[in-house]
Amino acid sequence: MPRVVSLFFPAWPTDRLRRAMGQSAPSAETPIVMLGRKGNRRLVLAVDAAARAAGLRVGIPGSKAQVLVSGLQSFDLDPAGDAEALDRMALWSLRYAPIVAADPPDGLIVDTTGADHLHGGEETMLEGLVSRMAASGIEARAAVADTWGAAHACARFLARPTFVAPVERSSAIMLGLPIVALRLPHDIVHGLHTLGFERVGEVDAAPRASLTLRFGPELGRRLDQAMGRRSEPFDPVRSPELIEVRRAFGEPIGAAETIARYAGKLVAALYEALETRGLGARRLDLLFHRVDNRIEAIRVGTAVPVRDVKRLTRLLTDRIETVDPGFGIELMTLTATLAEPFGAKQIISSLVEEPEPDITDLIDTLANRIGERRLYRFAPVESDVPERSVRRIAPTAPDDGTSWPGEWPRPPRLLTHPEPIETMALLPDHPPVWFSWRGIRRRVTRADGPERVFGEWWQRDAELIAVRDYFQVEDESGDRFWIYRAGDGEDHETGSHKWFLHGVFA
């Protein structure tokens, strides 16, 4: 099922203006409006959040806005600059999906079909999009639905700041939205309001012939597009700087074997272009232009720059089963949307030297199947507090030389949160004689410790004098555990003196 994301920028283009002005931009509390001409009238065509709060709306005369709000700052609208900025943002959004386009005047459209799992799911992907835009000073709302029209409407009327329409439920959601959500011209919306229509469902239930006779075919076209009854293709944005090869077919193709064969030929052609520039591919987008104007896409990524034709071809052909050729494919386009310098690597220089194992091929295969965010390795962090001494990094991230302390072994399984246990210890510095964890009482036969771990005072004041005493203990069955007492056993200000289990040894 196709899934489309719509990004809506409610303060566009004032957000772009602030970014362009940099340090000289007005403060966020200063109302800003963008003015432009419609005929002989100079009207407000865009407002920011402060101007909206002051009661200004799009469409009022510029002179009236100046009178209503003191300290209002107005600027001339720059349609060409705004369109160029939207295209740049669309190119940036290619990191999320291979099919992205500007949705003027204040949004983007992203076809994320089959790509959301690479970003942790639809909700996580939308939250990441909105938060990254906010970090750049751009207010954004995002929604995902089954069609462009439904996603466009949900982003503007339901997203706060994100909204995920359930699969195959977009048309039902559209029925309850106002008719302005159909992306209709103002005169058609005004005419529908005059006839008493308020919601999309009311228009959809009315006789189509009479509405078409009065308002023309645009109303029915927009309604069918939003409901998924008519396709709405869009041309993905592309930068001339991207390395791209394409293959057109005199007769449409549709067999998986044929698609795979031509995918290999495109990879070979792309290899020559990459080699000429001394680059390796990190992300490839293979687009299939169908005869019905719909575009299917495959995206694969690599952990390191790659120019291996067989390896890249295999990654692409592994996902051909996700492509719906429809009535045939008439054009295939392969683009290296992310390429990096292809560095040289020293090979072994003697017969006795062991080659360094290369697992990047396996990493690429797994990452493209389950998502790169779910693939990671652990790395040490310079911290004595156990739960802070480890972090997740990319599988191919370089080793920075940091290691865990070797004086005291650490358990291979560390609990996410230390779990309280019941114990009995003879003396403060002695390990427990027994402890009870998860309803099972265990008698301690061997123990080693204590290892005293101090709090990190630079993290927060509560850790200035906090300590933990860790013990390695073994029960009668030979199971080994890592337990600790919060506090030094004497001073109650150093901790609660309660016991916790923090890890399990293999």
pLDDT per residue as tens digits for the range 296-310: 999 998 988 999 999
Which residues sit opposite 5 in a β-bridge? Answer: 110, 144
| Residue 429 vs residues 339, 447, 486: alpha-carbon distances, Å | 58, 12, 12
Q: Which of 316, 361, 355, 359 is nearest to 335 (CA)?
A: 316
- Percent of the chain topping pLDDT 90: 48
According to the model, what pLDDT value does residue 380 have? 83
According to the model, what pLDDT value does residue 406 have? 65
Backbone φ and ψ of 297, nearest 5°: -145, 150
Helix pair angle (309-317, 360-370), 10° resolution: 20
According to the model, what pLDDT value does residue 348 have? 58
Q: What is the pTM of this model?
A: 0.73
According to the model, what pLDDT value does residue 413 have? 87
Q: Which of 244, 257, 260, 444 is nearest to 337 (CA)?
A: 244
- Are the beta carbons of 387 and 500 closer than 8 angstroms? no
**Cα Rg of the chain (Å, integer):** 30
Instruction: Give the pairing of strands 32-38 and 73-76.
Output: parallel
According to the model, what pLDDT value does residue 246 have? 94
What's the distance, Cα to Cα, between the start and end of the chain in Å? 45
According to the model, what pLDDT value does residue 416 have? 84
pLDDT confidence tier of residue 489, bands split at 50, 70 and 90: confident
Displacement of CA 91 from its chain's centroid (Å): 15
Which residues sit opposite 248 in a β-bridge? Answer: 331
Residues 6+ apart with CB under 8 A from 108: 6, 7, 86, 89, 90, 93, 100, 101, 102
**What would the mean pLDDT of 388-394 be, rounded to a whole number?**
83
Question: 340-385 pLDDT, tens per residue?
Answer: 997 666 665 665 666 667 788 888 888 887 777 778 888 888 887 8
Q: Which of 303, 429, 283 is nearest to 358 (CA)?
A: 303
Q: How far apart are CA 220 and CA 208, in angstroms?
A: 7
Query: Which of the residue ranges 94-98, 342-346, 378-382, 496-500 would you say has the lowest mean pLDDT?
Result: 342-346
Residue with tokens 């017969």: 351
Q: How far apart are CA 435 and CA 248, in angstroms?
A: 72
Residue type at 324 in one-letter notation: D
Residue with tokens 């896409």: 297
- The whole-chain average pLDDT of the chain stands at 88
Largest Cα separation within the chain, whole Å, is 93
**What would the mean pLDDT of 122-141 be, rounded to a whole number?**
91
Instruction: Please compute, for residue 237, the number of CA atoms within 13 A of its CA located in the half-sphere on the CB side.
Output: 23
Per the model's pLDDT, the better-predicted residue between 39 and 269 turns out to be 269
Query: Which of the residue ranges 83-92, 264-273, 369-378 would you say has the lowest mean pLDDT?
Result: 369-378
- Percent of the chain topping pLDDT 70: 96
According to the model, what pLDDT value does residue 158 have? 95
According to the model, what pLDDT value does residue 472 have? 92
Question: 13-51 pLDDT, tens per residue?
Answer: 888 888 888 877 888 788 898 999 888 889 998 888 888
Classified as helix, coil or strand, 254 is coil
